[in-house]
Structure formats: structure tokens, C-alpha cells
Amino acid sequence: MLNPAVIPLIPIVGAIAANLTELIRGESKIWHPEMEIGIKTFTLAITAYVAVWFALLVTAINAGGTSDMLAGFEVLGFFILGLGVYTFAKCSRFVTSALQLWIYRLALPCLLIFCTLISRFG
């Protein structure tokens, strides 16, 4: 069983992953056609996109430890919940272009911090 304090962090990681997926697929241009993404921001976003899948796997394994496999499934379930809600609700339309750039820039540190907290206290 997961610690209830870390449960809100897991859907946020899923929402960030969905946001980065929109960038990779080019769907972010639908809601922000005038947004200019620099090479540094794009590189950080791509790195975060790659890291989220590895970090999710490690987090799900570490959250359960050696005795609680259910916690790992809870991590994956809440992640998919956040990913699905963000994708199907099209939450990108509620974010401004400036905020969207900062989400891309801060995605990697946020993902690493959240996954560390979930692994440590989950």
C-alpha cells in the first residue's frame, strides 16, 4: 500500500509525461502555434521524456519493496490515470505559451524529484 502523502505526485508525473508526449508528436502546435521552442528547452524536454519511463519503472519497483507488489501496481495505475486525464481532457488548452515553456524546462527536475520522493516515502 502506498503512503497517501505521495499519491498526488504520481498523477502529476503522468500529466507531465502526457504534456511531453504532445511535444514529441507535434500536437502542442495546435494550442500554441506561435510558441518558439529553443534547442536547450527541446533538449531538456526530450531528456525528461526519455527519463520518465525509466524513472517510472524504478519508482514502481522501489515503492513496493520486496514484500508489497501492490504498491508498484498502484504507482502504475495512478500514473496511467494522470496520463489519461491530461490526454483526454486536452489540458494543454488551459496552459499559456509562457507557462508551457516553463513546464518543458522544469519537467526533468520535477520528474526526478517526484520519483525520488515516491520511491523514498511510498
* DSSP state string for 50-96: HHHHHHHHHHHHHHHTTT-HHHHHHHHHHHHHHHHHHHHTTGGGGS-
**Would you kindly state where each structural domain of the chain is located, as residue ranges?**
15-121
Q: What pLDDT, on the 0 to 100 scale, is given for residue 94? A: 87
pLDDT, average across residues 29-44 = 87
Q: Which three cell numbers stand for residue 21?
A: 508526449
Q: What pLDDT, on the 0 to 100 scale, is given for residue 74? A: 87
Would the pLDDT of 119 be above 90? no
pLDDT, average across residues 26-51 = 87
Would the pLDDT of 95 be above 90? no
Calpha distance 22→19 (Å, rounded): 5
Q: Cα-atom radius of gyration of the chain, to the nearest Å?
A: 15
Mean pLDDT in the chain? 87
